[in-house]
């Protein structure tokens, strides 16, 4: 009987995509996926340390596995940022873990697992930058929407962020290799590609001979068979006019951008080492909307950064009102050693952070709702790429502006682009009727 694997993922889209690779590699070793950890022969945990919560969740998940390990043969491996940061310490702290593999070791997973028999416990956390995925390994969680990691790491050292320490410095893949991977995915029937990186719009800056990110967008975006293109995540300081113009020039590039602002106070932005001001950010928003009036803009907000006064916080609130984002992801600041802000004085109390987080949501919720309501009555292109989580609806997909839409539809329409008339706006999704099939 084939052995089974279960992967639990915490954190960002980069981690989700890394888990897709882990799954593809395990399948290559003859394992089959299971949705039940109780019946898995191998359990992998792909961890995140960007915030305190996912880290705590990872520890508690690992703690619960101890019991299972006592009662049956089970291999437990931990990857991702926590694995990179803790390394051997993790094996010492939780002896029921069999192996730890860092953020640069994912493609070596089969080799690491095979070492277990010979060496017992294994810890591999070297920074080695194997950027090119192994040939023939194609992650296929979703057959119609695929991610391509175009670069690893980050050079920005925002003072609250641990990423440069656990993912290393920026290293871009070769554009030819990205284009080849994109063509392979399109030949397999993928219709939408999302280019991924911690800071995608600084793509190519570490390679003199490489093209810019805007040029990469043009080349990938003009590939025959591609219907949609997106990218994630952008740093406001690296969002050039050339890149902004691609929203107009490249027909496949969807009208959507995630542009983390973090806060609205120049004083705090400086302490965060974000290297743009509130005014710079607003200017970029203005340029984006001028070039592409229908663009949907989302952002990240951190409340309670050390030293954030009531006056600073009010500037974040006024920025939310001024920009009118389509949606936001807001978090309370937490210390992430060894990030620089850990050493900053004037830490904000948990109660104040919670109040500020609630205030941010209170301001944004009606804006998001109103933006969703604007869609009612409109006819929008939707790529039906999954079964709906709302059972009665059938299928779900995303608009070009990245909103989730549920429709009543037969499974045979899975993977098709359809035109949908929006009937109803909920807080985080839309519902509609299919008007016609577009492909």
> Which spans of this chain sit near ligand SF4 (rule: CB under 6 A)?
154, 156-158, 161, 163-164, 198-199, 235
Nearest distance in Å: CB 361, ligand SF4 = 21
Least CB distance from residue 158 to ligand SF4, whole Å? 3
Assigned token pair, 329:
């992801």
The SS3 call for residue 336 is coil
The residue with tokens 């004085």 is 345
Q: Which is nearer to ligand SF4, 156 or 172 (CB)?
A: 156
We find the least distance from the C-beta atom of residue 332 to ligand SF4, in angstroms, to be 15
Q: Rounded to whole angstroms, how far apart are CA atoms 223 and 216?
A: 11
The Cα–Cα gap between 247 and 265 comes to 28
Residue closer to ligand SF4 by CB (options 105, 262) is 262
Contact 155, 202 (CB under 8 A): yes
Rounded CA separation 320/372 (Å): 16
> Is the Cβ of residue 157 or residue 387 nearer to ligand SF4 in the bound state?
157
Nearer to ligand SF4, 164 or 307 (CB): 164
Q: Considering the complex, what minimum distance in angstroms separates the CB of residue 200 from ligand SF4? A: 11
**CB of residue 300 to ligand SF4, shortest distance in Å:** 8
We find the least distance from the C-beta atom of residue 156 to ligand SF4, in angstroms, to be 4
Largest CA distance in the chain: 63
| DSSP labels, 357-397 | HHHHHHHHHHHHHHHHHTTTT-EEEEEEEEE-SSGGGEEEE
> What strand order describes the sheet that includes 32-33?
32-33, 4-9, 42-47, 75-79, 99-101, 122-124
CB nearer to ligand SF4: pick between 234 and 388: 234
Q: What separation in angstroms does the CA of 102 have from each of 62, 111, 204, 318?
A: 17, 14, 24, 40
Q: Which is nearer to ligand SF4, 61 or 165 (CB)?
A: 165
Q: State the nearest-atom distance from the C-beta of 157 to ligand SF4, in Å.
A: 6
């Amino acid at each position: 009987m084939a052995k089974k694997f279960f992967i639990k993922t915490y954190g960002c889209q980069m981690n989700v995509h890394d888990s897709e690779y882990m799954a593809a590699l395990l399948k290559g070793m003859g394992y089959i996926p299971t949705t039940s950890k109780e019946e898995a022969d191998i359990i992998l945990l792909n961890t995140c340390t960007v915030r305190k919560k996912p880290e705590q969740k990872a520890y508690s998940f690992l703690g619960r596995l101890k019991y299972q390990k006592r009662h049956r043969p089970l291999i437990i491996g931990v990857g991702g940022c926590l694995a990179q940061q803790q390394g051997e310490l993790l094996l010492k702290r939780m002896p029921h873990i069999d192996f730890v593999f860092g953020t640069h070791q994912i493609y070596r997973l089969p080799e690491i697992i095979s070492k277990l028999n010979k060496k017992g416990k294994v810890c591999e956390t070297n920074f080695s930058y194997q950027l090119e995925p192994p040939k023939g390994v194609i992650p296929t969680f979703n057959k119609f929407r695929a991610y391509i990691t175009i670069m690893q790491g980050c050079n920005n050292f925002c003072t609250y962020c641990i990423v440069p320490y656990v993912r290393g410095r920026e290293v871009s893949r070769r554009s030819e290799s990205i284009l080849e991977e994109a063509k392979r995915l399109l030949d397999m029937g993928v219709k939408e590609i999302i280019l991924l990186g911690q800071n995608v719009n600084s793509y190519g800056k570490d390679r003199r001979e490489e093209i810019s990110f805007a040029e990469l967008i043009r080349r990938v975006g003009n590939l025959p068979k591609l219907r949609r293109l997106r990218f994630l995540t952008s740093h406001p300081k690296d969002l050039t006019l050339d890149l902004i113009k691609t929203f107009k020039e490249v027909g496949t590039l969807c009208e959507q951008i995630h542009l983390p602002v973090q806060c609205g106070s120049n004083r705090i932005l400086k302490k965060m080492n974000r290297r743009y001001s509130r005014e710079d950010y607003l200017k970029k928003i203005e340029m984006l909307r001028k070039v592409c009036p229908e663009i949907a803009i989302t952002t990240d907000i951190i409340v309670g950064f050390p030293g954030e006064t009531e006056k600073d916080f009010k500037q974040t609130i006024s920025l939310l009102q001024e920009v009118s984002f389509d949606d936001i992801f807001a978090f309370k600041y937490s210390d992430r050693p060894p990030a620089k802000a850990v050493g900053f004085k004037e830490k904000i109390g948990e109660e104040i952070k919670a109040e500020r987080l609630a205030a941010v949501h209170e301001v944004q919720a009606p804006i998001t709702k109103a933006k969703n309501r604007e869609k009612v009555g409109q006819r929008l292109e939707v790529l039906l790429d999954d079964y709906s989580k709302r059972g009665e609806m059938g299928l779900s997909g995303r608009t070009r502006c990245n909103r989730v839409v549920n429709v009543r539809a037969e499974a045979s329409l899975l993977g098709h682009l359809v035109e949908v008339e929006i009937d109803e706006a909920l807080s985080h999704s839309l519902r509609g009727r299919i008007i016609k099939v577009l492909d």
